[in-house]
Amino acid sequence: MSDIIQLLPDHVANQIAAGEVVQRPASVVKELLENSIDAGATSITLLLKDAGKTLIQVIDDGKGMSATDARLCFERHATSKIRKAQDLFNLNTKGFRGEALASIAAIAHVELKTKQENDDLGTAIKIEGSTVVSQEVISTAKGTSIAVKNLFYNIPARRNFLKSDTIETRHIIDEFQRVALAHPSISFLLHHNGNEVYHLKESNLRKRIVAIFGGKMNEKLVPIEEQTDILTISGFAAKPEFAKKKRGEQFFFVNDRFIKSSYLNHAVANAFEGLLEHNAHPSYFLYLSVPPGSIDINIHPTKTEIKFDNEKALYAILRATVKHSLGQYNVAPVLDFNRDATLDTPYDFKDKKPVTTPKIIVDPTFNPFKEEAKISQQSVGASSSSGARPFQPSYKKEVGSWESLYTNTDTFEAPQQEQLFTTEQETETGKTFQIQKKYILSSIKSGAVLIHQSLAHQRVLYEEFLHNITVQEASSQQLLFPVNISLSSSDIEMIYSIKSDLESAGFVFNEFTKESVVIGGIPTSITESQITLILEQLLDDIKMEVPDASFSHFDVMAKSFAKSLAIKTGTILNAKEQENLVNDLFSCKEPSISPFGKATFKTLSLAEIDTIFNK
């Protein structure tokens, strides 16, 4: 039998490795930005075309590379930070040159230009699919410029798996924000298709957060500071009243590296206990500094997950620190035994006389049983003779004499018998019942049907919106006063990229600025108060990669509108509303599933119901 095991060629091995390192254009952006930071850059520019599919270029003013390093950085296993295995547990950098560059060069056209400060000339290298096309000496500025073109050009299957430009741009902006937040002392510039998305100047952490997420973020932030022997914590948390329904602005940085940790997130959420509404999530920007030897950052290829030596201690310290800061800045209630009570007195009452306590006057001769004694005896006698208990009204009435008991007898109403058996959870409405303010039970010839009111309404609204957007021309209602909505620069860019689709749905945009959108018209099916809710839901759905292949953004928009405007669990529906919802649902093309693939109703046949009681 012949041998069947063979060594893979280098270019094939690089392509396989690239699948682990380079999952999408955002992966390339992350590696190149971190390389520039490790090179000591003070200014970094990121240029994108077509969400990075056509071009990703990073230009920095770092230390640059020699001609030899420029060539070696594209070789497999090339690195500038590891000399022995023990170095893996004492990392203070992000990567410098090498490592991922070999994987990137295997699946794209790469052009590198670099020059060190003391050199007269620099080096230019062109690589296509791991093959060096040219290397020459050029005149260039100090630092490094790497241009990655036509990503996945030689792996069409991987390129076809990429999402729309809007979603891929969202992922790139996420990586850009994480790097920019971790290094406020470095200036960053981001251009996409010739449009400036971010121009972040060198600043402190608070100004960097405000520059990224908009001017209104400044008033939301509460400083977080703590220093211990094993951990130093700094950063900001947003006030509870600005909590969001989605886990959006939640950032953990450990030694200036962005990480994801559900364990530490639980510690922060615990500190907000009792301050947030149900299903609300706090926003925070927390920076943890720990000894490099106490963490392992190589448990995940993207290094976004790390392992701590003493997780329980970090949890306790983080929770206590956040809770203390919320109390210190009067965001959370605290007990202060050294508080001066006079500080609570309003200035208007400071010099006024103290309020005198009113005197209580008691009539010692009052006897409440004096007039009612005879009445009570007569009532007892009547009840004993008939054997029935007399009706006791639920409220007291002044009785002047016994004759008054027989006047206005219609004012006393006995409790209705059926009220003893009604509950809040189930309300009879003729042909339908609303159960737990969540489900609608309706009888049919073959048995009964149980409908989820929120999911059913989502299906009705989804088909209605999709029909209005794609089949007939959507109508708009002009707003008397245009609405100004403040958003982050990345969200503004995202809305601008789908502006034409939103206009097809009925929105009218008057103006776009770097921090706000001015809306002059909205679809007739929504109200002015729902504009912000719908746009936020739409942005969240795009960020969470709601499938959008079939109708471009129309499908995503219809789903977002339906989710935002559908009746929620806990909403009480009257008989007419329940009947209309049931009729509308079964008039849909696909009434059995919601826009997100969940069942909207369950049919219970008489046989299934009988089975429940015949077991």
pLDDT digits (tens, 9 = 90+) for 482-529: 988 888 888 888 888 788 878 888 889 998 887 889 999 988 878 888
Can you tell me the distance from the alpha carbon of 535 to that of 42, in angstroms, rounded to the nearest whole number?
A: 36
Residue 536 confidence (pLDDT) above 90? no
Contact between residue 585 and residue 456 where contact means Cβ atoms under 8 Å apart = yes
* pTM to 2 decimal places: 0.66
- As given in the structure block, the two tokens for residue 393 are 């009204």
Report helix, strand or coil for 238.
Answer: strand
Report helix, strand or coil for 213.
Answer: helix
Half-sphere exposure of 247 (CA within 13 A, CB side): 11
Mean pLDDT, all residues of the chain: 79
pLDDT tens digit string along 313-341? 889 999 999 999 888 876 655 555 555 55
Q: Output the CA–CA distances (angstroms, integers) from residue 351 to 272, 340, 345, 346, 396, in the order listed.
A: 39, 17, 10, 10, 45
- Label residue 456 by pLDDT band (50, 70, 90): very high
pLDDT of residue 547: 46
pLDDT of residue 350: 53
pLDDT tens digit string along 90-148? 555 565 444 578 888 888 999 999 999 999 999 999 999 888 999 999 999 999 999 99
If phi > 0 it is left, if psi is from -120 to 50 it is alpha, else beta; for residue 274 that is: left
Contact between residue 576 and residue 584 where contact means Cβ atoms under 8 Å apart = no
Domains plus CATH for the chain? 10-200 (3.30.565.10), 206-328 (3.30.230.10), 440-601 (3.30.1370.100)
Among 14-18, 68-72, 407-411, 558-562, which is the least confidently predicted range? 407-411
378-381, Cβ contacts within 8 angstroms, sequence gap of 24 or more: 378/402
